[in-house]
Chain A
Amino acid sequence: MSSALNLAHEPLTKIPSGKLAMWAFLASELMFFSGFFGAFIVLRSGNYDVFGAGSAMLDWKLATLNTFILIGSSLTMALSIYHLEKKNNNMFRLFIGLTTLGGFGFLIVKWIEYSAKFHHGLFPGQEHHTLFFSFYFLMTGFHAVHVIAGMIPMGYMFFRSFSKDGYPYPWKVETLGLYWHFVDLMWIFIFPALYLMIPYHAAVAGH
């Protein structure tokens, strides 16, 4: 093999290529979410009552539960990487399995929340829809798609860990871990923005 095609050499940056690529991808994802947050802040300011009333109709208790679930799954993700690097495949399987379960738990709670909103006619096109609910479904829906996308390779790694030699690629789990923590990070911003910033008069009207 000619040296020009030798892909095994250490990169000039000393940063593993996969890791650098994931960070670059996450930076582009951050731009995606920046568009949502930027539009949300500007329109919230101009439509304060609509956003306050919408926010007061959301179930902040379910959202708090989901925050706890995602934080827990971030912890189990970090622990699964640690155990795979120590070549402890059984512990890796336990923690990657728990992380995947956390993803499922999050989606189930999300579905309960969504069903209530559909039932109350708040989805775009239904009779009680407002500008706030466009943002609600756009931001939480886009976030939920990210949760699903992360669970696919996670489930694959879980099942691969049952093979004879266990799951062999710790760096792939580490790269997926960066993505999974990013999904948690975006929820950390979405949660107060949508669920908690309720003006008093809207909070009273919503109950």
Chain B
Amino acid sequence: MSDHANPIPSYMKVFYALLSLTVLTVVAAKLLEFPHSWGTPGDMLHVSIGVVIAVVKVLCVMYIFMHLKFDSKLLRAFVAIPVALFIAMIFGLMFLEHFSYTH
């Protein structure tokens, strides 16, 4: 842990990024409240924007706050597999369900 430089600037960058992305996700959700119902591209866009912003935030936290940037490749692979499966499940279910209710 002692071989890398002062991590505080990158912590602060992630902190500001997380705050901005939170504001962005709220603003996007509120702006996109146009009339739509299930099965329209509008709702899918609405949900996808929320999930994509959440995934970006999660990767920021994992990479910097949880120190994966400084960890070995082995640990990164160990972590990447369940996280990738989780994100794949979220997107997979979202789209499958979306199409199953689109007629």
Contacts and interface: CB of A to CB of B under 8 A. Distances in A.
Pair from one complex? yes
B54 A79 contact: no
Interface string B29-47: 1000111111000010011
Contacts of A159: none
B29 A197 contact: yes
Interface string A67-91: 1100110110111001001000000
Given A30-B82, A37-B90, A197 B47 contact: yes
Contacts of B22: 64, 67-68, 71, 191
Contacts, number: 130
Contact of A196 (B1, B25, B78): B25
Contacts of B2: 85
B50 A196 contact: yes
A201 interface: yes
A71 B90 contact: no
Contacts of A196: 25-26, 29, 50
Given A31-B82, A178-B66, A184 B33 contact: no
Contacts of A198: 29, 33
Contacts of B29: 192, 196-198
A135 to B, nearest CB: 14
A1 interface: no
B24 to A, nearest CB: 11
Nearest to A63: B26
A71 B15 contact: yes
A42 B90 CA distance: 10
Nearest to B1: A85
Interface string B81-103: 01100100110011001101100
Interface of B: 1-2, 7-8, 11-12, 14-15, 18-19, 22, 25-26, 29, 33-38, 43, 46-47, 50-51, 53-54, 57-58, 61-62, 64-67, 71-72, 74-75, 78-79, 82-83, 86, 89-90, 93-94, 97-98, 100-101
7 contacts: A15-B71, A37-B90, A42-B93, A45-B38, A85-B2, A189-B58, A198-B29
